[in-house]
């Protein structure tokens, strides 16, 4: 829910609040917008006029207020974000690929592609110019204005200025990514960098499997590594930009060496690489899906590999749940597939090993959004526009 502030009769803050509400909730009647935000009707009218002039909002046909008799009551028009409004360029940079999407204020993906599917050369001097080209190419796929760019990536990120302190799977340290991309990209939009797990979790909380929860722990895996995020009363727990590095919880003391320098980290035992290793298979297209299919068909080796990987997931979840006590646990990406493959084992294992999970009756669910990281990155890219819609016209943030 959008935070409610003191009534505002000016057009600046009110416009941002109206736009944020429509962005997050979808089409609403003008009367519902006024009631939801607690603003004066005149302030909402002024805000809608401004947003319409900026091409951000569309006003549709009036609807009669619920329960009003035919012929009586003033009809309330439906307002929504414009489907022809601005887009955000959302980029997901992972250990083995780059995915780029164009996302509208209605959260619809109008374009998605993998322009750099092979990033075996992760040197910043090579990869950053390729990222800049991919961003520019994506922006050229539409005539709609670009409101912002956000790169979602694993690692330790200083989000205020998009400085990458470290990202283990790419081997980067102290890279001013946002600054360099701003100098290379030709689209002239603000550039942000965010931690992929935090952005994906935020998207699921607002629009997916986390809706209605007071607090949510989510773990995500896009094949390599495990990321995590925790949201309490709508606020992501970020610490210094790299809080809740769930993949580096120790689940096997003295176990396999991790790029972080420790041994026995969760991501070494519960990501797609771990399942492949447990099944004794080499990675190629669709191998992981084949293991899940074989396990479902009763193949003993595949079932054992799934069970071993799921057991490590339970160990990691137990520590996290005992520490954070979330109302809901959401598993995303590969971890969602792993949970579905051995659901009773994971659920019962967590309830047995965690007093917190057992007494609180914590829900375990899988993610709803197929592109949660891209949607989360778009949320970050749209943030300046949602705070101050005039930024679209002026190109500056006050």
Q: Which residues, in sequence order, are CB contacts of 344 under 8 Å at separation 6+? A: none
- Whether residue 65 is found in the same domain as residue 95: no
Of 237 and 344, the structure prediction assigns the larger pLDDT to 344
- Whether residue 215 is found in the same domain as residue 364: yes
- Whether residue 352 is found in the same domain as residue 214: yes
Residue 161 has pLDDT above 80, yes or no: yes
Residue 256 has pLDDT above 90, yes or no: yes
- Whether residue 386 is found in the same domain as residue 345: no
Q: What is the CATH number of the domain that holds 49?
A: 1.10.10.10
Question: What is the residue whose two structure tokens read 């922006």?
Answer: 139
Secondary structure of the chain as H, E, C letters? CCCCCCCCCCCHHHHHHHHHHHHHHCCEEHHHHHHHHCCCHHHHHHHHHHHHHCCCEEEEEEECCCCCCCCCCCCEEEEEECCCCCEEEEEEECCCCEEEEEEECCCCEEEEEEEECCCCCCCHHHHHHHHHHHHHHHHCCCCCCEEEEEEEECCEEEHHHCEEEEECCCCEEEECHHHHHHHHCCCCCCEEEEEHHHHHHHHHHHHCCCCCCCEEEEEEECCCCCEEEEEECCEECCCCCCCCCHHHCECCCCCCECCCCCECECHHHHCHHHHHHHHCCCCCCCHHHHHHHHHHCCCHHHHHHHHHHHHHHHHHHHHHHHHHCCCEEEEEEHHHHHHHHCHHHHHHHHHHHCHHHHHHCCEEEECCCCCHHHHHHHHHHHHHHHHCCCHHHHCCCC
The residue from 35, 57, 81 where one domain ends is 81
In a domain, residue 159? The reply is yes
Q: Which residues, in sequence order, are CB contacts of 148 under 8 Å at separation 6+? A: 88, 89, 189, 190, 191, 192, 380, 381, 382, 383, 384, 385
Confidence of residue 73 (pLDDT cuts 50, 70, 90): low
Mean pLDDT calculated for residue range 336-340? 97
User: Parallel, antiparallel, or unpaired: how do β-strands 215-221 and 227-232 relate?
Assistant: antiparallel
Residue range 258-280, pLDDT digits in tens: 988 999 999 999 999 999 999 99
In a domain, residue 48? The reply is yes
| Burial class of 272 by CB neighbour count within 10 A (0 to 12, 13 to 18, 19+) | buried
In a domain, residue 319? The reply is yes
Q: Quick check: 279 and 338 in contact, CB under 8 A? A: no
- Whether residue 53 is found in the same domain as residue 115: no
Residue 74 has pLDDT above 80, yes or no: no
Confidence of residue 68 (pLDDT cuts 50, 70, 90): very low
- Whether residue 219 is found in the same domain as residue 362: yes
Mean pLDDT calculated for residue range 129-138? 91
Q: What is the CATH number of the domain that holds 330?
A: 3.30.420.40
Count of structural domains, the chain: 3
In a domain, residue 5? The reply is no
Mean pLDDT, the chain, as a whole number? 88
The residue from 24, 46, 81 where one domain ends is 81
The rounded distance, in Å, linking the Cα atoms of 230 and 248 is: 15
Residue range 342-388, pLDDT digits in tens: 999 999 999 999 999 999 889 999 999 989 999 999 999 999 999 99
Give the residue numbers spanning the domain of 93. 87-198+373-394
- Nearest Cα neighbor of 150 from 372, 375, 370, 332 is 375
Residue 181 has pLDDT above 60, yes or no: yes
| Burial class of 61 by CB neighbour count within 10 A (0 to 12, 13 to 18, 19+) | exposed
């Amino acid at each position: 829910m959008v935070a409610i502030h003191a009534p505002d009769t000016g057009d600046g803050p009110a416009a941002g609040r109206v736009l944020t509400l429509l962005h997050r909730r979808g089409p609403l009647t003008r009367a519902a917008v006024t009631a939801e935000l607690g603003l004066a009707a005149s302030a909402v009218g002024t805000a809608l006029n401004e947003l319409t002039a900026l091409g951000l909002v569309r006003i549709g046909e009036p609807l009669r207020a619920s329960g009003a008799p035919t012929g009586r009551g003033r009809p309330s028009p439906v307002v929504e974000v414009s489907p022809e409004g601005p887009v955000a360029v959302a980029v997901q940079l992972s250990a083995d690929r780059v995915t780029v999407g164009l996302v509208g204020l209605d959260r619809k993906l109008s374009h998605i592609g993998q322009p750099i599917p092979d990033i075996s050369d992760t040197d910043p001097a090579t990869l950053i110019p390729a990222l800049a080209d991919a961003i520019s190419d994506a922006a050229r796929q539409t005539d709609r204005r670009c409101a912002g760019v956000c790169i979602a990536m694993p690692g330790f990120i200083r989000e205020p200025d998009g400085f990458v302190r470290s990202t283990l799977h790419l081997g980067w340290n102290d890279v001013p990514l946002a600054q360099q991309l701003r100098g290379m990209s030709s689209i002239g939009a603000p550039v942000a960098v965010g931690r992929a797990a935090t952005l994906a979790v935020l998207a699921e909380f607002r629009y997916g499997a986390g809706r209605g929860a007071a607090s949510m722990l989510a773990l995500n895996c896009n094949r390599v590594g495990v990321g995590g995020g925790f949201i309490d009363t709508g606020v992501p727990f970020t610490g210094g930009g790299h809080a809740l590095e769930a993949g580096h919880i120790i689940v096997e003391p003295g176990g396999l060496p991790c790029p972080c320098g420790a041994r026995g980290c969760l991501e070494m035992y519960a990501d797609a690489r771990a399942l492949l290793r447990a099944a004794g298979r080499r990675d190629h297209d669709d191998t992981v899906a084949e293991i899940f299919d074989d396990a479902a068909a009763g193949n003993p080796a595949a079932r054992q590999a799934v069970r071993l990987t799921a057991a490590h997931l339970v160990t990691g979840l137990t520590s996290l749940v005992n520490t954070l006590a979330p109302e809901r646990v959401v598993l995303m990406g590969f971890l969602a597939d792993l949970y579905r493959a051995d659901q009773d084992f994971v659920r019962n294992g967590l309830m047995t090993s965690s007093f917190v999970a057992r007494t609180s009756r914590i829900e375990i669910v899988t993610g709803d959004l197929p592109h949660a990281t891209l949607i989360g990155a778009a949320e970050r890219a749209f943030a300046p526009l949602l705070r101050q819609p005039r930024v679209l016209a002026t190109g500056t943030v006050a």
